[in-house]
Amino acid sequence: MATQHSRIAARFMVAPSVVLLFLWMIVPLVTTIYFSFLDYKLLVPKPSTWAGFDNYYYFLTDRTFLASILHTLAIVLGVLFITVVGGILLALLMNMPFWGQGIVRVLVIAPFFVMPTVSALVWKNMFMNPVNGMFAHIAKGLGLQPFDFLSQAPLLSIIGIVAWQWLPFATLILLTSLQSLDGEQQEAAEMDGASVLSRFFYLTVPHLTRAVTVVILIQTIFLLAVFAEIFVTTSGGPGTATTTISYLVYIQSLVKYDVGAGSAGGIIAVILANIVAFFAMRMIGKNLDA
């Protein structure tokens, strides 16, 4: 409800953001789509030609592509599983009264603020390294053979590293949600004769569902794009054991300089992300009305 005057002013103030985001979203995307139909290799000094769906055909029939989808899924699902389950347990723990809540909270949240390249390298060298890593030292101390995490279980190791980064996010959101539980509602249920257990299942769990959904959706968006952690630890290897879609696109385009195939891969990644985003947007959009 406002006057004509302020409505016109409002339009002018929204315009720059809309134009910028529109350009940022549409121009490169259209270019990528265009490239994806070209036979365009930066290292081959011949004019690029129309390739039709060849690039998509090449990409989709490449064995690495199928593997990369599986790896991406493994990372997304693995990390989600660890962070959601771990996050709920941690949030429940931290929601109980104990001494030093503020400090523990800070300790738990800290990994989220560590830049991806740092956490990946620290885990890789200081902990998982089979010679100098902390785990190797512990294994040797116990008289065991050190385990070479990143070559023997590369995907699991990366899942572990990424989960460490995202566990704080899940915990923090679930904890915030727990703390917003209506105290009077809990007391009303107690007056109604609900036991601790039934209060948890009938009140706390439904209340947390929303937060869990938010955690899953938002993490999925970020996890689909995990890049730096792979880049500095395994470079997609050994072989293609840790090559995800994002990483595969990067290899195709900026390592092999095959712009056409890389673009096709990029578009496939966009389509996959959009499927997830569709659900995420509906979820967040619903909350706008509330």
9 is an interface residue for other proteins by CB under 8 A = yes
By CB under 8 A, the residues from 234 to 253 that bind other proteins are 245-246, 249-250, 253
Size of the site for other proteins (CB under 8 A): 112
Tell me how far, at minimum, the Cβ of 276 lies from other proteins, in Å: 8
283 is an interface residue for other proteins by CB under 8 A = yes
Binding mask of the shown chain, residues 15 to 44, with x at each position contacting other proteins by CB under 8 A: -xxx-xx--xx-xxx-xx--x---------
Q: For residue 50, give the H/E element and its range.
A: strand 49-50
Among positions 54, 141, 156, 206, the unique one binding other proteins when judged by CB under 8 A: 141
Letter string b/e over residues 123-158, b meaning 16 or more CB atoms within 10 A of that residue's CB? bbeebbbbeebebbeeeeeeeeebebbbeeebbebb
Among positions 127, 157, 158, 242, the unique one binding other proteins when judged by CB under 8 A: 127
Inter-CA distances, 112 with 1, 163, 248, Å? 41, 10, 26
Place of tokens 């609900």: 194
By CB under 8 A, the residues from 152 to 181 that bind other proteins are 164, 167-169, 172-173, 176-177, 180
Piece in contact with other proteins (CB under 8 A), picked from 50-58, 59-67, 77-85, 222-230: 222-230
Single-letter amino acid, residue 176: T
Among positions 144, 210, 238, 239, the unique one binding other proteins when judged by CB under 8 A: 210
Count helices and strands (H / E) in the chain.
14, 2
Residue 258: Cβ within 10 Å count: 23
116 is an interface residue for other proteins by CB under 8 A = yes
142 is an interface residue for other proteins by CB under 8 A = no
